[in-house]
Copies of this chain bind each other. A is one copy, B any other.
Amino acid sequence: MVDEHADPTVGELSEGAILRSILDRLGASNALVGPGDDAAVIAAADGRVVATVDTLVHGPDFRLAWTSAYDLGYKAAAVNLADVAAMGATPTALLVALAMPDSTRLSFVTGIADGLRAACRELAPGCRVEGGDLTVSDTLTVAVTALGALAGRTPVLRSGARPGDVVAVAGELGRAARGLRVLFERFTDAAHLPVPVDESVLAPAERDDLAAQLRPAPPVALGPVACDEGATAMMDVSDGLLLDASRMAAASGVCIALETAALGDDPRSALTGGEDHALLATFPHDRPLPAGFRRIGRVRAQGPDPVLVDGARYEGRAGWDPYRDWDARTG
List the interface of chain A (C-beta within 8 A of B). Answer: 10-11, 13-15, 18, 32-33, 36-57, 59-61, 83-84, 86-87, 89, 93, 95-97, 99, 102, 130-139, 141, 143, 145-148, 150, 155, 157-159, 234-236, 251, 321-324, 326, 328
A234: chain B residues within 8 A (beta carbon): 38
A41: chain B residues within 8 A (beta carbon): 48-51, 87, 150, 155
Min CB gap A329→B, angstroms: 11
A51: chain B residues within 8 A (beta carbon): 39-42, 51, 93, 95, 130-131, 145, 147
Is there contact, CB below 8 Å, between A322 and B136?
yes
A150: chain B residues within 8 A (beta carbon): 41
Decide: A53 near B235, CB < 8 A? Known: A13-B323, A137-B141, A158-B37. no
Given A39-B89, A39-B146, 5 other A-B residues pairs in contact with their CB atoms under 8 A: A37-B87, A44-B44, A53-B97, A134-B322, A139-B141
- Provide the bound-state CA to CA distance between A18 and B57, in Å: 19
A86: chain B residues within 8 A (beta carbon): 38-39
User: Which 3 A-B pairs rank lowest in CB-CB distance, beginning with the nearest?
Assistant: A39-B52, A44-B44, A139-B139
8 residue pairs of the A-B complex, CB under 8 angstroms, read A11-B323, A37-B159, A39-B86, A40-B50, A53-B133, A102-B323, A134-B323, A136-B322
A136: chain B residues within 8 A (beta carbon): 57, 59-60, 322-323, 326, 328
The listed residue (B10, B38, B61, B132) touching A235 by CB distance below 8 A is: B38
Is there contact, CB below 8 Å, between A47 and B43?
yes
- Provide the bound-state CA to CA distance between A83 and B36, in Å: 12
- Provide the bound-state CA to CA distance between A61 and B137, in Å: 9
A32: chain B residues within 8 A (beta carbon): 48, 155
Is there contact, CB below 8 Å, between B155 and A60?
no
